[in-house]
Amino acid sequence: MKAGKPDAALRVGFVASDTPEAQAAAARLTEIYGACDPDEADIVVALGGDGLMLQTLHRFMGRETPIYGMNRGSIGFLMNEFSEVGLVERLSAAQRSVVHPLLMIAHDIHGEEFRAWAINEVFLSRQTYQAAKIRVYVDGEVRLKELIADGIMVATPAGSTAYNLSANGPILPLNAPLLALTPISAFRPRHWRGALLPDHARLRFEVLEAAKRPVNAVADHTEVLSVAFVDIALDRSVGLVMLHDSGHSLDERILRAQFGY
């Protein structure tokens, strides 16, 4: 392999958000390293922020194509630092993190069924000024007869530092066999702060008074309006591969987040 040129056997594809910064980075990296169609690539390099990373993971869901993100956005928790130098070497040395998404099966008040996958979280939220009333089942057993709140979510370890954290949910190590069940602005039970569940748990959220107190369900970027009940479980048949530079793996970032940096 010549310096500054990619290994001919490694097919690299680039995807970028529509910001000028990300588009310029994609053009420059393609000029330096060349590129192939992302759908035919061995590794896909995503240039943008965490939103683009999630979109790219969803796009390649089921293919097990490794995704290596470089931050050309704002937060970039899931991304590596951007650099034009040594990309092929970084890809070759990168550490793999494999995560499984949540499968949401939602039924609306009209009896329609919708399926969507979530890498970060599935959450229910009220549509109107009235608080939602939700019954929570875990493995077919009622665990919370009536939650009165703005909503509720279940988050994966990979998503525990996102919306879950902002709702005062716990940060989970990436390899922890757990899911975080977190209320959103709970009113009753007043002192309930959520639960940690084994990642093989199967959940159902049943919306009480669904016509009077309409609730939406969201799996990452997919929203279903006016749901009656929602079933959620980890889908182990799907593995999503993220690549991170040595010393900056996703589990290391999650660990650092627990100490406030």
User: Active-site positions?
Assistant: 50
Residue of 208, 229, 209 lying closest to 217 (CA atoms): 229
Terminus-to-terminus CA distance in the chain, angstroms?
38
Q: Decide: 208 and 90 in contact? Cβ < 8 Å.
A: no
Q: Decide: 249 and 95 in contact? Cβ < 8 Å.
A: yes
What b/e readout covers 64-103, taking b as 16+ CB neighbours within 10 angstroms?
Answer: ebbbbbbbbbeebbbbbebeeeebbebbeebeebebbbbb
CA–CA gap between residue 216 and residue 233 (Å, rounded): 18
Backbone angles phi, psi at 257, to 5 degrees: -60, -30
Q: Decide: 220 and 61 in contact? Cβ < 8 Å.
A: no
Q: Decide: 242 and 119 in contact? Cβ < 8 Å.
A: no
